Amino acid sequence: MVTRENPTPDETGQTSDTVDAVLDVVARSAPEIREGLPGRRVAHGEENPSGETQMAADVFADELLCERISEIENVGVYASEEREEGIDVGNGLSVCVDPLDGSSNLKPNAAMGTIVAIYDDDLPATGRDIVAAAYVLYGATTTMVTAREKTDTVTEYVIHPDGNYQVVHEELSLPDDPTVYGFGGRVPHWVEEFREFVESIESDPSMKLRYGGAMIGDVNQVLTYGGIFGYPTLGNAPEGKLRVQFEGYPVGYIVETAGGASSDGHQSLLDVEKDELHARTPVYVGNRELIDDLESYMADRD
């Protein structure tokens, strides 16, 4: 379970209502985002702040969520992976959104996600400022997984086409026996220490490769079956690809709350400190023993 040195006194009252409202908006918007995808499988013509080509669907999902989340009472900032800076929308919690995670999966019609992290501080916040995180997975069905400080549990919902949603797992926890693994980045760019770790994973006959190219799909495999997902440090990109505020903290928080572990190679993702909104970090999440092994392989690397 996640422990914080300075816990928010009590996630009740206003904070709890705001978290409820944000998660409700995300769930109820998911069918519209899904329905909006077919006509938006084309490049928008712009780059996002991380220098990646935006798809029309990225922009559509961002605008829809921005409009709705900004209207929620006690939300102070809306920030998105698709925008250079956070938008000041009032006083209160900071909400960071990756509107469409894995949007390169649009063309081959594979799984994608929406990620949300809610921080009780200004941005860039730290991983210990999270009061809730969630993701929607647009797979064969649409599901949402949430982790909240208030309950210290991870809950999975199925979202129906009309926007209503219901609990399918009240308290999700990582299975004890890991069986799946998936790692991003071009293999020739993996560093030696990581390569050796992957060889140790692959030499275990109980482990099967599951990699789909959208972090949320891959992390959901790990939460369902147990195992490890990583987008590692690369020889040509030491910080990897994924962004701390939008991807690293929320998946780290969700997996840790589900009884697993997270790491940047050396420490919990929640202890990574970066002072830029769009900063990146290597991301590894999964069963505690696999993350411990990973960290021992990576120990000699900065």
68 is a contact residue toward ligand FBP (CB under 6 A)? no
- The Cα-based distances of 226 to 26, 71, 110, 178, 289 in angstroms read 26, 38, 21, 4, 11
Q: H helices within the chain, ranges in order?
A: 13-36, 56-70, 192-202, 215-225, 249-257, 288-298
Chain mean position to CA 91:
25
Nearer to ligand FBP, 9 or 108 (CB): 108
Q: Which residues between 261 and 300 bind ligand FBP (CB under 6 A)? A: none
Q: How far apart are CA 294 and CA 290, in angstroms?
A: 6
Helix (H, G, I), strand (E, B) or coil at 38: helix
Nearer to ligand FBP, 40 or 241 (CB): 241
Nearer to ligand FBP, 76 or 265 (CB): 265
Q: Which of 31, 127, 178, 185 binds ligand FBP (CB under 6 A)?
A: 185
Smallest gap from Cβ 179 to ligand FBP, in A, equals 20
Q: Which residues between 200 and 259 bind ligand FBP (CB under 6 A)? A: 213-215, 231, 241
Query: What are the φ and ψ backbone dihedral angles of 11, each rounded to 5 degrees?
Result: -80, 70
Smallest gap from Cβ 90 to ligand FBP, in A, equals 26
Which residue of this chain has its Cβ atom nearest to ligand FBP in the complex?
A: 215
Q: Which residues between 98 and 157 bind ligand FBP (CB under 6 A)? A: 98, 101-104
Nearer to ligand FBP, 69 or 215 (CB): 215
Smallest gap from Cβ 82 to ligand FBP, in A, equals 9
Q: How far apart are CA 197 and CA 38, in angstroms?
A: 39
Instruction: Report how many residues bind ligand FBP under the rule CB under 6 A.
Output: 14
DSSP 52: P
The set of residues, in sequence order, having a beta carbon less than 8 Å from that of 207 and lying 6+ positions away, is: 178, 179, 180, 181, 201, 227
Residues near ligand FBP, by CB under 6 A: 52, 81, 98, 101-104, 184-185, 213-215, 231, 241
